[in-house]
Amino acid sequence: MVSTRRRFLLAAVLASVLVMAGMPKADWGTKDPCTLEYFAAYTAGRRLENVDGCNWAELGDITRSYRIQKEIAQRHPAGGEPVGYKVTFANDGRVVGVITDAMLLATGSTIEISTGARLLGEADLLVRVGADSINRAKTTEDIAASIDAVFPLIESSDMMLPDGAARTKAIWTASNANARWGVLGDQIDLSHMTPATRLSIFEKLEVELFDEAGRSLQSSGMRDNPLERVLDVIGELQRRDGLELKVGDLISLGNFGRPRFPETGSSLTAVFHGLADPPPTVSVRYE
């Protein structure tokens, strides 16, 4: 996988070549000012700004927010193809964003802080959809029966919203739930386990987070079963013209403990107790 440093160097070189050649700016295939501003801010690694036709603090039409996010997913500046969803929390409801395969890096990767406006680091999990029956799930037991793998994860989301923009579902949906980077550990196969065993693993899971000096920063589980977040995704997609999860989709379940704002030269290592034996780890360095 191409490192973040190399990927962004290649993007910068390509951009400079286009400017020198006098070629026009990229055609993102949209006229929505909020979508265009998202593309510009994401590519530059800066905060979103209010522009003509898009005051982020006043964005309250969830239908428009869904449309903006759909346009983002179709032409995401991170590159790659959409591979799943992430869940986060707004003051007025759950927020679901789209993730692409280009956002996912291998454990041990280095992320340049300058690639985002205000990056966070937090322990997380990805689960993989193993059966279409997941779209009819009503309980976490149903979810456990319909997933076939889990990946330990450190997510580095990006607080792109401008000052004064509230933490509302409409605004955060339009900014694609702050999705930026995810650092993956090794896949853990669940297909040989009973649904009850899978459910128990998620109920008991605790994650300990360490800094670059090996100091423990926190150890925490979730208040409820993390698989509840998959139910949130299913419900949200059904509200969007009856969309459904597909076999192979990945779903990020939300953070364990308090998110961190990494500094240059810092590292995070997450140890997932109860996920497997020995406990799997994920690490990321920030430069």
- Checking if the pLDDT of 23 tops 80, the result is no
Can you tell me the distance from the alpha carbon of 111 to that of 103, in angstroms, rounded to the nearest whole number? 11
Alpha carbons within 13 A on the beta-carbon side of 49:
8
Q: Where are the beta strands (DSSP E) in 91-146?
A: 93-100, 104-106, 110-111, 121-129
* Beta carbons of 196 and 155 less than 8 angstroms apart: no
- Checking if the pLDDT of 7 tops 70, the result is no
**CATH code: domain of residue 22:** 3.90.850.10
196-245 pLDDT tens trace: 999 999 999 999 999 999 999 999 888 789 999 999 999 999 988 789 99
**In the chain, which residue ranges form alpha helices assigned H by DSSP?**
4-20, 33-44, 62-74, 140-144, 169-174, 195-204, 228-239
93 DSSP β-pair partners: 90
Overall domain count for the chain: 1
Res 29: pLDDT: 64
Res 257: pLDDT: 87
Cα distance from N-terminal residue to C-terminal residue, the chain? 18
Give residue 235's domain range: 4-286
Rg (CA), the chain: 19
127-156 pLDDT tens trace: 999 999 999 999 999 999 999 999 999 999
112, two tokens: 């340049």
* Beta carbons of 95 and 68 less than 8 angstroms apart: no
- Residue 20: pLDDT band with limits 50, 70, 90: very low
Mean pLDDT over 39-50 rounds to 96
268 DSSP β-pair partners: 284
Mean pLDDT over 56-62 rounds to 93
152-190 pLDDT tens trace: 999 999 999 998 899 999 999 999 999 999 999 999 999
* Beta carbons of 128 and 147 less than 8 angstroms apart: yes
Cβ burial of 6 (10 Å; 0-12, 13-18, 19+) is exposed
40-51 as b/e, with b when 16 or more CB fall inside 10 Å? bbbeebebbebe
The amino acid occupying position 287 is E
Going by the DSSP 8-state scheme, the letter that residue 119 receives in this structure is B
Mean pLDDT over 72-84 rounds to 93
Res 19: pLDDT: 30
* Beta carbons of 275 and 205 less than 8 angstroms apart: yes
Can you tell me the distance from the alpha carbon of 176 to that of 180, in angstroms, rounded to the nearest whole number? 9
Quote the pTM value.
Answer: 0.88
Q: Is the peptide bond before 278 cis (omega within 30 degrees of 0)?
A: yes
